[in-house]
């Protein structure tokens, strides 16, 4: 199993701060700060929210949502958790895991409730003493998937559950990662190398410890570049299958892409490497990489952050030349197309539009219609023929999409949440 290198950051009121006691601002731009950790080799980021009260916590939740949307690296949310609703809000903000602080007695019961509601895979615990773990070991094993240990005081002897030690003092990272049950390491011992976390991974490789570094079934020498030493790369969105762009790689760009998991190209005009997103923040996280039958063209399937095109468009291929009806419907494309029309009505109202009528009437009217359409589905479902149900479900989805547009939600948000369940 690959051992994970996990920086941790501390947030208060939507800003990143250095630690628990001093309020020094680390960055006025937490989104870019965390995104930089992501592309420099972080396998995940633990984000402790130190906010006091609901207002401060809401500010942090808004920033956490921006952070999780700006990268593909998992965020583990911790801190400011008092009730099940707080766990839900962190998960809805895009955190892949939520860690409950066991120093709060009220969180002991919450661990079981959260594990049953959201699944143990999404729940971690934070502990700063061995007693906190041992006294509640059965609950932890049944309802969580790992423990974040604040310090290394009992890493040597503890292997009851998988652990991530958060270590702020000087120590050997290799010694910690070699302990039974330790699957990752965090804290200042990692943060200090935040500009190049791959350097830590190189050190671990020398110590015989496997970390998350990309590999390829084919090396550059197995490929067939052109006379200039370049191979064209077709880049495709792994979620939508839309073709995003075409660019080129040389040997170095290929090897960096494989190793770091971020698309890196060679610019023929500038005669230099360029990591996609380095200036815009619109990085491409590699999910799949293929070679064609002649090994002279690559296909990369990626998670695209923002738009792929330098014009700001999602894809470089937006100039329509020919379009004919296919007689086929891709469900996701249909949902996206309808949502695009709804958003256009929202931004550019059209007289007589039913969609604009709903926006004008506001959320209460929209919610009333959703309730009515849900009832219509129930009634239609009693009919043995499916046609009526089909119509009512389509009406229901349309009104839900109007609500999504009003709340600023996208189908990507909804599909991501479904995929995480």
Quick count: other Cβ atoms within 10 Å of Cβ 131?
Answer: 11
Position 229 scores a pLDDT of 97
Is the predicted pLDDT of residue 156 greater than 80, yes or no?
no
Residue 140 near residue 112, CB atoms below 8 Å: no
Quick one: which of 168, 118, 125, 147 has its CA closest to 10?
Answer: 168
Quick count: other Cβ atoms within 10 Å of Cβ 360?
Answer: 10
Residue 54 near residue 61, CB atoms below 8 Å: no
> Mean per-residue pLDDT for 17-27?
51
What's the residue count for the chain? 421
> Mean per-residue pLDDT for 31-44?
94
Is the predicted pLDDT of residue 366 greater than 60, yes or no?
yes
How does pLDDT run across 55-74, given as a tens digit for each residue?
888 999 999 999 999 999 99
User: pTM for the complete prediction?
Assistant: 0.82
Q: Phi, psi at residue 173, to the nearest 5°?
A: -60, -40
pLDDT, mean over the chain: 90
Cα separations (Å) of 64 from 126, 187, 394?
A: 19, 19, 33
In terms of pLDDT, which residue wins out, 7 or 21? 7
> Mean per-residue pLDDT for 335-356?
91
- Cα 404 vs. chain centroid, distance in angstroms? 20
Around 175, how many Cα atoms within 13 Å sit in the side-chain half-sphere?
8
Confidence of residue 244 (pLDDT cuts 50, 70, 90): very high
Quick one: which of 233, 248, 245 has its CA closest to 311?
Answer: 245
Position 23 scores a pLDDT of 45
Position 20 scores a pLDDT of 39
Phi-psi region of 247 (alpha: psi -120 to 50; beta: other; left: phi over 0): beta
Q: Which of 53-57, 145-149, 176-180, 281-285 has the highest mean pLDDT?
A: 281-285
Is the predicted pLDDT of residue 284 greater than 50, yes or no?
yes
With tokens 């219609």, the residue in question is 369
> Mean per-residue pLDDT for 324-346?
82
> Mean per-residue pLDDT for 278-290?
95
Is the predicted pLDDT of residue 47 greater than 90, yes or no?
yes
Residue 108 near residue 102, CB atoms below 8 Å: yes
Task: Give the percent of the chain with pLDDT over 90.
Answer: 66
Quick one: which of 194, 137, 139, 144 has its CA closest to 8?
Answer: 194
Is the predicted pLDDT of residue 165 greater than 60, yes or no?
yes
How does pLDDT run across 124-139, given as a tens digit for each residue?
999 888 788 888 899 9
Is the predicted pLDDT of residue 12 greater than 90, yes or no?
no
In this structure, of 11-15, 171-175, 181-185, 258-262, the range with the lowest mean pLDDT score is: 11-15
> Mean per-residue pLDDT for 342-355?
92
Task: Give the percent of the chain with pLDDT over 70.
Answer: 94
In terms of pLDDT, which residue wins out, 334 or 360? 360
Position 27 scores a pLDDT of 62
Is the predicted pLDDT of residue 44 greater than 80, yes or no?
yes
- Give all domains of the chain, ordered by start, each with its CATH number: 4-206 (3.20.20.70), 220-304 (3.10.20.810), 331-419 (1.10.287.1080)
How does pLDDT run across 230-240, given as a tens digit for each residue?
999 999 999 88
Listing DSSP states for 224-293 in one string gives ---TTS-EEEEEEETTT--EEEEEEE-HHHHHHHHHHSB-EEEETTTTEEEETTTTTS--EEEEEEEE-T
Q: How far apart are the first and last CA of the chain?
A: 23
**Ranges of H-type helices in 119-183:** 130-134, 137-143, 173-177
Residue 238 near residue 416, CB atoms below 8 Å: no
With tokens 């291929």, the residue in question is 317
Confidence of residue 150 (pLDDT cuts 50, 70, 90): confident
> Mean per-residue pLDDT for 87-94?
91
How does pLDDT run across 218-231, given as a tens digit for each residue?
999 999 999 999 99
How does pLDDT run across 187-213, given as a tens digit for each residue?
989 988 888 999 999 999 999 999 999
How does pLDDT run across 296-327, given as a tens digit for each residue?
999 999 999 999 999 989 999 999 899 877 66
């Amino acid at each position: 199993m690959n051992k994970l290198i996990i920086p941790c950051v501390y947030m208060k009121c939507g800003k990143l701060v250095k630690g628990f006691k001093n309020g020094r601002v680390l960055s006025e731009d937490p989104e870019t700060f965390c995104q930089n950790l992501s592309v420099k080799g972080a396998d995940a980021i633990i984000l402790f929210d130190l906010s006091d009260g609901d207002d401060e916590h809401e500010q942090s939740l808004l920033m956490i949502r921006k952070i999780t949307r700006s990268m593909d690296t998992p965020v583990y949310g911790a801190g400011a958790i008092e009730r099940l609703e707080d766990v839900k809000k962190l998960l809805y903000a895009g955190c892949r895991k939520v860690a409950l602080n066991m120093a709060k007695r009220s969180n002991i019961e919450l661990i079981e409730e959260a594990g049953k509601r959201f699944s143990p895979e999404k729940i971690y615990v934070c502990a700063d003493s061995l007693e906190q773990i041992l006294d509640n070991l059965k609950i932890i094993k049944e309802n969580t998937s790992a423990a974040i240990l604040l310090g290394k005081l009992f890493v040597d002897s503890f292997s009851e559950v998988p652990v991530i030690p958060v270590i702020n003092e000087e120590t050997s990272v290799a010694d910690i990662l070699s302990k039974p049950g330790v699957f990752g390491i965090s804290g200042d011992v990692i943060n200090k190398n935040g500009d190049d976390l791959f350097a830590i991974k190189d050190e671990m490789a020398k110590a015989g410890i496997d970390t998350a570094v990309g590999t390829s079934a084919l090396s550059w020498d197995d490929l067939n570049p052109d006379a200039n030493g370049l191979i064209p790369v077709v880049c495709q969105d792994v979620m939508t299958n839309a073709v995003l762009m075409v660019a080129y790689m040389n040997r170095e760009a290929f090897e960096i892409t494989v190793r770091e998991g971020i698309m890196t190209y060679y610019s023929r005009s500038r005669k230099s490497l360029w990591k996609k997103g380095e200036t815009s923040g619109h990085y491409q996280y590699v999910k799949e990489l293929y070679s064609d039958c002649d090994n002279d063209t690559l296909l990369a399937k990626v998670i695209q952050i923002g738009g792929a095109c330098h014009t700001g468009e999602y894809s470089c291929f937006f100039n329509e030349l020919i379009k004919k009806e296919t007689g086929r419907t891709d469900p996701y494309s249909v949902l996206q197309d309808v949502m695009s029309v709804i958003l256009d009505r929202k931004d550019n109202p059209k007289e007589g539009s039913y969609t604009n009528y709903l926006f004008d009437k506001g959320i209460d009217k929209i919610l009333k219609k959703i309730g009515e359409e849900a009832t219509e589905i129930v009634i239609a479902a009693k009919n043995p023929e499916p046609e009526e149900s089909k119509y009512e479900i389509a009406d229901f989805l349309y009104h839900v999409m109007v609500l999504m547009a009003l709340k600023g939600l996208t189908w990507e948000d909804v599909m991501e949440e479904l995929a995480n369940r």
